[in-house]
Structure 1
Amino acid sequence: MKLSIYTLTFLFAGIFLMPFQTEAQEKKTLFIILDGIQRELLIKNPTPNMDEIISEGGYFPAHVGGAKGGYSETPTISAVGYNSLLTGVWVNKHNVKGNSIRRPNYNYWTIFRHFKENYPNKTTAVYSTWLDNRTKLVGENLEATGHLQLDYHFDGLEVDTLGYPHDDKSEYIKKIDQEVAAYAAKDISRKAPDLTWVYLQYTDDMGHRFGASPEMDLAIQEADRQVGLIWSAIKEREKEFDEDWMIAITTDHGRGEGGFHHGGQSDEERATWIISNQSFNEIASNIPGIVDLFPTIANYMHIEIPKNQAMEVDGVSLWGEAYASHLKGTLNGNLLNLNWKDYGSGEKAKIWVTPTNQFRYGNSDLYRLLGETDLAKETVELDLKMKYDNLKVVLELPEGFINVWLKNQE
């Protein structure tokens, strides 16, 4: 792995996270989750295919787990991380708290649902070593997701215990990963879905069984070979059909001491990474979160997000112009203090607040506009003239939003 970094009536109005531009090339996006690969082992191992992708775009240290100790603190568990990518929000919103996926809050739409709402005639695909990714997280054909339909999928092999008999060394998962990657590469080469998710599991199994070990090293190298199949199909499509692809590769969590387990909030468990063939903006150099991939894909693919939904997104786009990120704040009595990271745009942002959280129930929140602030100041103090126990604060940027939930400390 190379360590180079190439480096309120308005609520239902539609917005573009990025202004639409007429382009000759058709844009397509594919994202891959390689389960449970800690940052240091990815860097240590030879990964020539991912290195080639990095050479076209970049490698970025990233994180999962939400705000440590805060309202959005999120378990570093697999399905929880997948859903944070799919929805662009942390667990306090999407409500997937573990791998059982008991009660997802489908009011927080996945990137697939937004994409199909915008482009019903374009195609989507999921190729996965875990069936629940499509049936529960994406929620295909569920009433709660508007009976969302994907165009292509290849998954569920793990429930075929006759064709793939389970063994205590996870060789069946290794075989399934290989078949999923090969099938995905073949479909990409022939059908080129417009928005695709590939999920591969074997690395996580090796981590749980052997920790940081030669077995885990070999699993990472095998995952790179599988990425290479998909990357070759993308390059072929770009060459033969003049398409413009974004590939984004990440992992869902790090690992604790010894590289065995995860789920907690240690720095090692929260530490992840993102790789892409696209040149990301300055925000990507400030330890982005897995939630940032949702708005990144939305910007790249020109997906229109309704304003009331965009105000809930916890991530910020890594593609396109950077305005602000890392919104934090305190609420003490009537006083609201906010701070953020500015990226030199010279623009202003509107400040919206609401004490309610009706969106989670499928309703709308009534926001109060407090005014505007210069992003370059990176801080503002406001007298609210009244006390709120809890407050959702949203900065409306020239393109997109950033938000934070605050609890009154008085």
Structure 2
Amino acid sequence: MHRIYSLTVLFLCFFLTAFQARAQEKKTLFIILDGIQRELLIKNPTPNMDDIISEGGYFPAYVGGAKGGYSETPTISAVGYNSLLTGVWVNKHNVKGNSIRQPNYNYWTIFRHFKENYPNKTTAVYSTWLDNRTKLIGENLEATGNFQLDYHFDGLEVDTLGYPHDDESDYIKRIDQEVAAYAAEDVREKAPDLTWVYLQYTDDMGHRFGASPEMDLGIQEADRQVGMIWDAIQEREKKFDEEWLIVITTDHGRGEGGFHHGGQSDEERATWIISNKAFNEIASQTPGIVDIFPTMATYMGLTIPKNHAMEVDGVSLLGEAYASHLTGTLSGTELKLNWKSYGNGETGRVWVTSTNQFRYGNSDLYRMLGEVNLEDESANFDIKVPQNNVKVVLELPTGFINVWVKNTD
């Protein structure tokens, strides 16, 4: 009798453990709403995004890399998408415009890292632009290890019979509506583990009409489409005890009058991030679009190989905040570093290399300069041998931050 009782207790414990493990299953979905400048998003009624914000937050953000620096990045759509996908700026991922001529696939997308970690989990892209899947993610290309998505819905814009192109971009509006509806249904029925939704119509309205009633209506329609997907996520969470991270952002701001973008004006660089999760202190320092990659990686528990992690330009907005905003100067052999600390009394290690072989698919040879107290927010080192440029990596208790430094002598 005692043996039967013990077996029953063991079975119940096993069942509860298995249920709790399933209940903790995490899924991530990110949305890019193209070309919505910060002030117009705030101005317009967006009840669905407001609902998401109420669970997490709204954060002013930026694109464009280091203005005037080595990582300065054009505020152009595909460039911004790829900075999100790879967590690095244009000097690394090499997507310089919407033609996407020579992406450097040595900087892996979040999708490829996800599949390396979880080969049996599912990925999906729902997009109003086919090139997001075929060129940026690089599906089925030798250079991306023949990466394959599990689900996708895109390419409607090349069907000129079904979606005849018109001067008012109504066909893009129709495609956005279908993409959002399809994504919402797949979330509800298939629940991919990592999903990207891309909607374009707002960018078209900005280019055609600038800051205008037409743009306002485009933003409000985008919010309605977000609402369809958000409703599906909430339904999944209630029915299947799943936990979802949703991140919504835009790829660039807009210049004077709300028409154009591509340059480095404050207006073109100004973006925003919305999430249903509360972010850490780094989010108060105006995060970059490159911070979304490590944020999702943290949430999903991805293990990023060290040589890849040392290249990532962003920092996670989830989890413990240690340091961010690493900068440096080099004069002769004297290296001076500064960073923003978040006051946790931890130490870090400083690594340096004068090579840049990662971009060619090879490894860089690093040497450790020493340990630092992160609360000091600065450190000086003698690199011994003069170099024209050095890549400096500050290793944190979890993760890395990096900066390229040019010799001023």
TM range (shorter): over 0.9
| Shift, 1:23, TM fit | 7.6
Please tell me the residue identity of whatever aligns with 2:246. I
SS in 2 for 1:239: helix
1:223 counterpart residue number: 222
2:76, 2:235 → 1: CA distance? 35
Report how far residue 25 of structure 1 moved. 1.4
Cα displacement string for residues 357-390 of structure 1 (whole angstroms, at most 9, x for unaligned residues): 0000000000010000000000111122221100
Q: Does 1:243 align with 2:242?
A: yes
Where 2:304 maps in the other structure, the secondary structure is strand
Is structure 2 residue 147 aligned with structure 1 residue 127?
Answer: no
Structure-2 separation of matches of 1:178 and 1:29: 21
The SS at the match of 2:196 is strand
The one-character-per-residue Cα deviations of 1:170-226 (angstroms, maximum 9, x if unpaired) are 000000000000000000000000000000000000000000000000000000000
Q: In the alignment, residue 45 of structure 1 is paired with which amino acid?
A: N
SS at match of 1:305: coil
Deviation, structure 1 residue 76: 0.2
1:332 aligns with 2:326: no
Asked if 1:303 is matched to 2:312, the reply is no
CA–CA distance in structure 2, aligned partners of residues 253 and 332 of structure 1: 35
Aligned partners of 2:22, 2:352: CA distance in 1, in Å? 37
Q: Distance in 1 between matches of 2:393 and 2:23?
A: 35
User: Which residue does the alignment assign to 1:391?
Assistant: 390
Between Structure 1 and Structure 2, whose CA radius of gyration is higher? 2
1:204 paired residue number: 203
Q: TM-score scaled to structure 2, two decimals?
A: 0.95
Q: Tell me the residue number matched to 1:264.
A: 263
Higher relative contact order (CA 8 A, sep 6+): 1
- Over the aligned positions, Cα root-mean-square deviation in angstroms equals 0.9
Q: Which residue pairs with 1:5 in the alignment?
A: none
Deviation string, structure 1 residues 54-78 (Cα, Å, up to 9, x no partner): 0000000000000000000000000
Q: Which residue of 2 aligns with 1:213?
A: 212
2:143 matches 1:139: no
Letter in 1 for 2:104: N
- What is the CA–CA distance in structure 2 between the aligned matches of 1:169 and 1:197, rounded to whole Å? 26
Which segments of 5 or more consecutive residues in structure 1 lack a partner in the other structure?
1-20
1-structure distance, mates of 2:188, 2:88: 32
SS at match of 1:308: helix
Q: What is the deviation of 1:22?
A: 6.7
Aligned partners of 1:205, 1:159: CA distance in 2, in Å? 16
More helix by share: 2
Structure 1 CA distance for aligned equivalents of residues 193 and 402 of structure 2: 29
Matching residue of 1:349? 348
Could you list the runs of 4 or more consecutive aligned residues of structure 1 that deviate by over 6 angstroms after TM superposition? none
Unaligned 5+ runs, structure 2: 1-19
Q: Distance in 2 between matches of 1:67 and 1:266?
A: 12
> What is the CA–CA distance in structure 1 between the aligned matches of 2:251 and 2:374, rounded to whole Å?
32
Percent identical pairs in the alignment equals 83
For 2:332, give the aligned amino acid: G
Alignment partners' CA distance in 2, 1:193 and 1:345? 36
Work out the CA distance in 2 between the residues paired with 1:187 and 1:386: 56
Give the structure 2 partner of residue 319 of structure 1.
318
Secondary structure of the corresponding residue to residue 321 of structure 2: coil
CA offsets per residue over residues 309-338 of structure 1, 9 Å max, x none? 000000000011100000011111111011
For 1:169, the equivalent position in structure 2 comes to 168
